Structure 1
Amino acid sequence: MFRSLFAVVLIVWAGAVVAHDHNRADLSNWFEKLHDRKGDLCCDGSEAMHLPEVDWEINGNRYRVRVPTTPGGFQRAMAGAANVETEWVYVPDEAVIDEPNRANVTLVWPLYGPTGVSVRCFVPGTMT
């Protein structure tokens, strides 16, 4: 049963993972100015993943997100693939973007390196 539930969640998640909506040109300037708490820019939004509510949470006083485990998985997820391996990753406090979320969807910028996946920037959505 757990496997079936996980498969359904993964399919729903993969369908919801998309890049910045290029049809929303009104948000381009907002994306280009987003920066984390250290002052580092997050990029233009083209690398941002949109996360449904089931793929992010507040655990204690920290955010946690479910993202693809590898850069190849990230690329496949961004292209709409449903069979992408994911893992839960804690969002560093300095990666949280404090300004209001104009995109109205949770956004995360995963960062892949030699020690695995981490989070470069994160814009929380609303939990309903």
Structure 2
Amino acid sequence: MHAAQHDAPTRGRHLVDDGMPVALAATGLDDSFRYWRGASGARFVFSVSPVAAVTSVSNAVVVLATNGRDGSREAVWIGRGDSPEFRLARAASVAAGATEMHLHMTSSPLGADRIVRDLKAAIPIAPLKVNFA
């Protein structure tokens, strides 16, 4: 992980991945890892697997993602791999078109929670407009 100088890429109200590790291009592993950038500017590397490959993972941040035509990935769900809502979220994400599961291992639940909050904070939320007229 390292801090970056620009904002997390988004598409509408969805977080878009920050590309693949360029250093892996010559190894053939470039599609096996992706970066995701949080609101803090920190960039985290995730391993990529099919969405059905993992059922539960302790201390892991999970991004369930769709594959864009341009090669980008769009987050459908972000959370912990051992959270109670993970299985339901995975099923709903598959129904929404998710094909990939991105995993970032951490050393503790607190570390995973911090990264989940950072990634979710990077997603732009439209301001609530209330009209009392």
TM above 0.5, yes or no, is: no
- Name the structure with the higher strand share: 2
Bigger Rg over Cα = 2
TM range (shorter): 0.3 to 0.5
Structure 2 length-normalised TM: 0.33
